[in-house]
Amino acid sequence: MTQKKTRHLRLFIMTILAVIFWTVGSGFYRNIAADSEETYKGLKIFSDVIELIEKNYVDPVDADQLMQKAIQGMVRSLDPHSSLLPPEAYEELKVDTQGEFGGIGIEITIQNGILTVVSPIEGTPAYKAGIMAGDKIIKVDGESTQEMELWEAVKKMRGPEGATVVITIIREGVSEPMDFTLIRDIIPIKSVRSITLKPGYGYVRIANFNDSTSQDLENALESLESAEIPLKGLILDLRDNPGGLLPQAIQISDFFLEEGKILSIKGRQKKHQKIFRAHPNEIKRDYPMIVLINGGSASASEIVAGALQDNHRALILGVTSFGKGTVQTVESLREGYGLKLTIARYYTPSGKSIQAKGIVPDIEVKYRFMEEDGADEGKYISVKEKDLKNHLEAVPHGQKEDETASEEKKKETKKYKMPSAEHSYGPLKIEELQRDNQVSRAIEILTSYEIFKAINR
């Protein structure tokens, strides 16, 4: 690093120290002064450390990178969903909520420090090549993913249509790493799929919540509702839906509610406290509904499930959801950076926080994919919000949690069988849905309801 750059960095730090010193000396309350004094001491130590590293470290260092990593470490120590977004990561985040991009078509996460496939997206190069949920990606084009940030891995796998990328994976039950040579394609972000299971009974799967989800759902409902036989019941499948945009979750909940509370969010700032309410719809959707959830249903999908459950609009079936009950915002910073920061907890209409607890189904049905020669119960999925490092608790520090919630926290993490990636994210096929025991149970309940209605007329 040049001497000029070093002086600039030290000047920046000393300016902050001067501002804090002025604040402390301006007669503010003692507790504020004490906090500022501690911050002042911390910044002095930080400045000293930067200087010592620059002068004495065995190899030359880049102070900009040191600062970025220090900020990243600070933000990540808050909770698993807050992070500093470098310009490239900020751009990737914007792409994720838009219409399409060039890539191979997989959803990924970092699990236990390893880049892991959540699921392939139907019809994409990864899906066609046989990439499976649970596959561990250890290399991209020969480069190890061990120290990669999630956004870096995403960026390396995305690219122009027709370009080739090689990913190396390890798979449970396979002794050697496997190389997949994939040709990138345009990946449409299609979040809603629908089908008529049998006359009068519709099925809608929402894979995530992006900019077009509410419009896509409205189109799907219009198609189902205009069928020759009126809609007698609807299954809304939110299994393995990781969430997405909060406004979309609000709007989708509102499709099925005529009045009442959908959601409330509560943060430290007044501007981060808000109640969202339902509005009357032009189309009255009073048919019975069942919502399917599992351990992969998180964030926005939990908002929808919680709103419909608490308003007694839908029956929730499956297993307890992921438990991400916090709201993040992305603030634009200078030079293209962004800060993703947790600003509030959200609460279901009845006032429940699902943070680190999840939505508990009205009827628990563990997944089982029924085959003629027995039952293929899929893979174990057990990682939940409460298993993540630095996760927030259901209520802010200092507030008392109800006894029921405390007892729930003491319970051991359960392991449930979940649908395979192909079944969860593949094309909708009647024969496969009929072999899905959770879908079959939902249909049985809906048809039974119709029969009882006829008996009681």
Kindly report, residue by residue over 210-255, the tens digit of the pLDDT: 888 999 999 999 999 999 999 999 999 999 888 888 999 999 999 9
> Which tokens in the block code for residue 318?
């499956």
Q: Could you tell me where the DSSP H helices lie in 267-400?
A: 300-310
Q: Is the pLDDT of residue 157 over 50?
A: yes
Superfamily classification of domain 100-188 = PDZ domain (2.30.42.10)
pLDDT for the residue numbered 379: 44
Arithmetic mean of pLDDT, 422-432: 68
What's the pTM value of the predicted model, to 2 decimals? 0.75
Sequence spans of domains, the chain: 3-61, 100-188, 192-326+343-455
Q: Is the pLDDT of residue 401 over 80?
A: no
Measured CA distances, 17 to 12, 14, 249, 270, 341 (Å):
9, 5, 43, 29, 24
Residues 6+ apart with CB under 8 A from 257: 278, 307, 308, 311, 313
pLDDT for the residue numbered 120: 79
310 counts as catalytic: yes
Backbone angles phi, psi at 306, to 5 degrees: -65, -40
Q: Is the pLDDT of residue 164 over 50?
A: yes
Q: Is the pLDDT of residue 27 over 90?
A: no
Residue 53 neighbours by CB distance under 10 Å: 12
Question: Among residues 299, 321, 420, 424, which one is catalytic?
Answer: 299
Helix axes 246-255, 300-310, angle to 10 degrees: 30
Q: CATH 3.30.230.70: does it fit domain 192-326+343-455?
A: no
- Measured CA to CA, the distance from residue 339 to residue 105 in angstroms comes to 26
pLDDT for the residue numbered 6: 53
For residue 299, give the nearest of 249, 251, 338 by alpha carbon: 249
pLDDT for the residue numbered 280: 95
190 counts as catalytic: no
Q: Is the pLDDT of residue 348 over 90?
A: yes
Question: Among residues 324, 352, 357, 384, which one is catalytic?
Answer: 324
Kindly report, residue by residue over 49-82, the tens digit of the pLDDT: 888 998 999 999 988 888 888 888 999 899 988 9
pLDDT for the residue numbered 60: 92
Residues 6+ apart with CB under 8 A from 418: 239, 240, 294, 295, 296, 367, 378, 379, 380, 381, 424
Question: Among residues 185, 254, 310, 436, which one is catalytic?
Answer: 310
pLDDT for the residue numbered 229: 93
Kindly report, residue by residue over 190-199, the tens digit of the pLDDT: 789 999 999 9
Residue that is written with structure tokens 């293929």 in the block: 376
> Which tokens in the block code for residue 344?
């509030």
For residue 394, give the nearest of 436, 444, 445, 359 by alpha carbon: 359
DSSP 398: T
Q: Is the pLDDT of residue 390 over 90?
A: no
Is residue 205 helix, strand or coil?
Answer: strand
| Mean pLDDT, the chain, whole residue set | 83
- Measured CA to CA, the distance from residue 150 to residue 142 in angstroms comes to 17
- Measured CA to CA, the distance from residue 322 to residue 242 in angstroms comes to 9
For residue 107, give the nearest of 210, 236, 242, 237 by alpha carbon: 242
26 counts as catalytic: no
